[in-house]
Amino acid sequence: MQVTLHQDKCVASGQCVLAAQDVFDQRDEDGVAVLLDDRPPEELHDDVRHAAAVCPAPAIALADS
3 touching ligand SF4, by CB under 6 A: no
With CB under 6 A as the contact rule, the residue among 2, 4, 11, 53 that binds ligand SF4 is 11
The least distance separating ligand SF4 from the CB of residue 62, rounded to whole angstroms, comes to 12
How are the residues of the chain apportioned to helix, strand and coil, as percentages rounded to the nearest 5?
Answer: 30, 20, 50
The least distance separating ligand SF4 from the CB of residue 3, rounded to whole angstroms, comes to 11
20 touching ligand SF4, by CB under 6 A: no
Q: Which burial class, exposed, middle or buried, applies to 50 when counting CB atoms under 10 A from its CB (0-12, 13-18, 19+)?
A: middle
